[in-house]
Amino acid sequence: MRQGFTPRWTADRNGCLGRPGTTGSVAHVTERIRLVVLYGGRSAEHEVSRTSGRYVAECARAGGLVVDLVGITRDGRWVRPPARLPDRGATGEALPTLGDDLPTVSADEALERRSGESLVVFPVLHGPFGEDGTVQGLCEMAGVPYVGPGVLSSAVCMDKPVSKRLLQAAGLSVARHIALRAGEVTAETPGALLAELGSPVFVKPANLGSSIGISKAADVTQVAEALALASGYDDRLIVEEFVPGRELEVSVLGNEELRASLPGEIVPGGEFYDYDDKYLNDTAELHAPADLPDEVSEEVQNLAVAAARALGVEGLGRVDFLYDEAASPNRRLIVSEINTMPGFTPISMYPRLWAVSGLDGPALIAELVRLALDRDRRRATFAGRGRMTLEDVLSREQHAEYTRSLCDDPDLTTS
Catalytic residue selected from 49, 163, 173, 339:
339
Residue type, 18: G
Give 13's contacts (C-beta < 8 A, 6+ positions apart). Answer: 64
Phi, psi of 349, rounded to the nearest 5 degrees: -70, -35
Q: Is 337 a catalytic residue?
A: yes
Q: Is 146 a catalytic residue?
A: no
Cα torsion 183, 204, 38, 375: sign: negative
Catalytic residue selected from 39, 146, 275, 279:
279
78-79 sheet: strands from edge to edge: 78-79, 66-72, 32-40, 117-124
Q: What region does 171 belong to: left with phi over 0, alpha with psi -120 to 50, or beta?
A: left
Q: Is 58 a catalytic residue?
A: no
The residues that bridge with 266 in the sheet, in sequence order, are: 247, 286
Q: Is 93 a catalytic residue?
A: no
Contact assessment for residue 208 and residue 127, using Cβ atoms and an 8 Å cutoff:
yes
Catalytic residue selected from 54, 236, 259, 318:
318
Catalytic residue selected from 337, 367, 374, 376:
337
d(CA 2, CA 57): 28
Q: Is 39 a catalytic residue?
A: no
Catalytic residue selected from 40, 45, 49, 259:
45
Catalytic residue selected from 314, 320, 367, 376:
320
E strands, 73-228, in order: 78-79, 117-124, 177-181, 201-205, 215-217
Q: Is 259 a catalytic residue?
A: no
**76: helix, strand or coil:** coil
Catalytic residue selected from 52, 154, 163, 210:
210
Q: What share of the chain is helix, strand, coil (3-state, %, to 5)?
A: 35, 20, 45
Q: Is 279 a catalytic residue?
A: yes
**170: helix, strand or coil:** coil
Contact assessment for residue 50 and residue 37, using Cβ atoms and an 8 Å cutoff:
no
Q: Is 55 a catalytic residue?
A: no
**388: helix, strand or coil:** coil
Contact assessment for residue 340 and residue 327, using Cβ atoms and an 8 Å cutoff:
no
Catalytic residue selected from 18, 41, 133, 343:
343
- Residues acting as catalytic residues: 45, 210, 279, 318, 320, 337, 339, 343
